[in-house]
Structure formats: structure tokens, C-alpha cells
Amino acid sequence: KNEVEQSPQNLTAQEGEFITINCSYSVGISALHWLQQHPGGGIVSLFMLSSGKKKHGRLIATINIQEKHSSLHITASHPRDSAVYICAARRGGTSYGKLTFGQGTILTVHP
Amino acid sequence: DGGITQSPKYLFRKEGQNVTLSCEQNLNHDAMYWYRQDPGQGLRLIYYSQIVNDFQKGDIAEGYSVSREKKESFPLTVTSAQKNPTAFYLCASSIEVYNEQFFGPGTRLTVL
């Protein structure tokens, strides 16, 4: 079992729909990252959070430390949101600072 | 504009040849990283460097080598010893090794 698991692996939505991508982790963390990878391959950091909730435009990220679970929500989705979304756990303990990545969720938003 | 550049975007090499991937940053970051991405898998750490003239092996360092002679530059050499070199390679940097990482655009290497 991977230390960081994302679901779903593939997600298709119609423009305007509310989207949720989930991330569960089994390791101790100091923070969790959500990243966006566009078809060209470059990666952009969306959020880094260690508790609670963060919001940027139509994107919302939440984390529940006790349940070891994080979610990324996209409100009023748009075709330009189509990308691969990756969660990454920033390790704590003896591996402090190291990132462990989920396998990514491929999101396609149709007009 | 500050950022991370990787060149080239696409690279083709014959089997058995060494190849060097470039990564340059002008963010004045101390730490730099190399990751490998394969379809359906999460990014995996190849090497990282906390500071100039220092580097450490990551999870999949076999068949790769790096150098860090300048703060701005962290080239990765894929040697002929790497059994499965075809992949997408991403470079990243951060202010210090435990801080938020910023990623370059990546280089797609295909070994024929």
C-alpha cells in the first residue's frame, strides 16, 4: 500500500460542477501539499497546509490531521482546470522535510 | 523574472550513452532536487542538495549522478547504468531543504 493514496485516479466533470479530490496518508507529516501539473508537464504549487482549511479563488483545500486525510475542492469547475492534481506529504520524524507523493488524479472538465 | 529553467524540454539518446539534464534557478535558493516521474506513479526523489558542494542520494539514485558546483545549477547525469532511463525528469528548489519547493518545467528523456 502506498504511503500517500489519492482518489479517484481519473475524474471527468462538466463545466460548472463541484469537484472533490481526496488524499489519504499513512505517515507522520509536518504539512501537506497540493500541486497542479498541466499537460506540458510543469508543476505549480497550489497549497501547503498543516491544519484546517485554505482557500484561493475557486480552490479550497482542507486537512484532518486526526483522520490523516486531505481534500481539494474546485468550485464552478472550468475546462482550464483540466490537469493532474497531486498531493504530497511533507514528512515528519526522522524523514523530516522529505516529500512523499501520491500518484495523481487526472481531472478532465468538459465544456 | 525569477524561476527554474530546465533544458531541453525533450531529449532523445541512444541506449548506452550518458546524458546530462540541465537545471538552473535564479531564486537564490539553497536547496535543489531532482525527481523522476513515470506514468501512474508518484514523483520519486533521485538526488537532492542542501547547499553548494553538497548532495545526498534520494530513493532511486542508482544509475544517476549530480554535481552542485554553483548555487544556481544542479545538473543531473543519467548514466548507462540506469536500466530504465526513459521518463519525465523534474527539478525543484526551495529556500532551505525543509521549505516549500518550486518546480521547473521538466525534461522528457527518451532512450531509444
Residue pLDDT, tens place only, B3-24: 999 989 999 999 889 999 999 9
pLDDT band at B69; cut points 50, 70, 90: very high
pLDDT of residue A16: 97
Instruction: Determine whether B69 is exposed, middle or buried from the number of CB atoms within 10 Å of its CB (0-12, 13-18, 19+).
Output: exposed
- The 8 Å CB, 24+ separation contacts for A65-69 are A68/A24, A68/A25, A68/A26, A69/A22, A69/A23, A69/A24, A69/A25
Subunit contact A45:B101, Cβ cutoff 8 A: yes
Q: Is beta strand A105-110 parallel, antiparallel or unpaired with respect to A10-14?
A: parallel
Mean pLDDT of A75-104: 89
pLDDT of residue B61: 96
pLDDT of residue B94: 93
Mean pLDDT of B26-33: 96
**CB proximity list for B84: less than 8 A, separation 6 or greater:** none
pLDDT of residue A7: 96
Q: Which residue of B has its CA nearest to A30?
A: B98
Q: Tell me: the pLDDT tens digits for B77-108?
A: 999 888 899 999 999 999 988 788 899 999 99
pLDDT of residue A95: 66
| Chain CA centroid to CA A1, Å | 18
Q: Does the pLDDT of residue A94 top 70, yes or no?
A: no
Q: Does the pLDDT of residue B28 top 80, yes or no?
A: yes
Are the beta carbons of A13 and A82 closer than 8 angstroms?
no
Q: Tell me: the pLDDT tens digits for A31-86?
A: 999 999 988 888 999 999 999 999 999 999 999 999 999 999 999 999 999 999 99
Q: Taking CB atoms and an 8 Å cutoff, what residues of chain A touch B101?
A: 45, 99
Q: Taking CB atoms and an 8 Å cutoff, what residues of chain B touch A35?
A: 103
The chain-wide mean pLDDT, for chain B, equals 93
What CA–CA distance (Å, rounded) separates A81 from A83? 6
Closest partner residue to B103 (CB to CB) among A42, A102, A103 is A42
Q: Taking CB atoms and an 8 Å cutoff, what residues of chain A touch B90?
A: 41, 43
What CA–CA distance (Å, rounded) separates B17 from A65? 47
- Going by the DSSP 8-state scheme, the letter that residue B73 receives in this structure is B
Subunit contact A41:B106, Cβ cutoff 8 A: yes
Are the beta carbons of B37 and B90 closer than 8 angstroms?
yes
